[in-house]
Amino acid sequence: MNFRPRQKEEPEINLIPFIDVLLVVLIFLMLSTTYSKFTELQLKLPVADADAQRDYPKELLVTVSSDGDYGVNRVAVQGRSVEALSAALLDAAKAGKDSVVVITADASARHQAVITVMEAARRSGLTQITFATQSTASSGKK
């Protein structure tokens, strides 16, 4: 009989698979993380450089004033709701769903007023939307 105590094996922790998994997780997080830098922007809209203004034969000209009033083809729209604007767009759309909505918004118009025009066009089924801008040469600022 052998009554000598055996040497107990120390348990080993293999760190290599653990490190591999951590590196994969680190790479995944680095690739999927978006870095955003918040800065103060000074925007002056609407000014853009374009080749030439296109003339759309089936266009609906929607104007947005600085105080939020709307006009469709130089006719004032009564009310500022999406429903009133949508009804005015449907009445003025001569070419039906193929009409192009040209949004001419004042530079100091609220963003919500322009979004309201886009929502009214969507509800009316008008999917072609463009924006009218002023070129930098005609704005007087270089």
- Please name the residues in contact with 110: beta carbons below 8 A apart, sequence gap of 6 or more: 68
Between helix 82-92 and helix 111-124 the angle, nearest 10°, is: 50
68-80: b (≥16 Cβ within 10 Å) or e:
ebbbbeeeebeee
Residue 115 sits in a domain whose CATH number is 3.30.420.270
Helix (H) or strand (E) holding 100: strand 100-105
Whether 6 has a pLDDT exceeding 80, the answer reads no
Q: Could you tell me which residues come within 8 angstroms of residue 3 by beta carbon, excluding any fewer than 6 positions away? A: none
Residue 76: inside a domain: yes
pLDDT of amino acid 136: 59
Contacts 24+ apart (CB under 8 A), 41-44: 44/107, 44/141
Flag whether pLDDT at 73 surpasses 60. yes
Asked if the structure places residue 122 within a domain, the reply is yes
* Residue 83 placed within a domain: yes
In a domain, 100, yes or no: yes
Let me know if residue 109 belongs to a domain: yes
Between 19 and 105, the higher pLDDT residue: 19
Q: Tens of pLDDT along 86-122?
A: 888 888 887 677 788 888 888 888 888 889 889 988 8
Average pLDDT over residues 117-140: 77
- Do the domain assignments include residue 90? yes
| Residue 43 pLDDT grade (very low, low, confident, very high; cuts 50, 70, 90) | very low
Does any domain span residue 82? Answer: yes
Q: CA–CA separation, 53 vs 80, rounded Å? A: 28
Q: Supply the mean pLDDT for the chain.
A: 77
Question: pLDDT value at position 39?
Answer: 45
Residue 19 has pLDDT above 90, yes or no: yes
Residue 118 is part of which domain span?
59-131
What whole-number distance in Å separates Cα of residue 131 and Cα of residue 142? Answer: 21
Task: Assess if residue 77 is contained within a domain.
Answer: yes
What's the rounded Cα separation, in Å, for the pair 26 and 103?
46
Number of compact structural domains in the chain: 1
Q: What percentage of the chain has pLDDT greater than the value 70?
A: 75
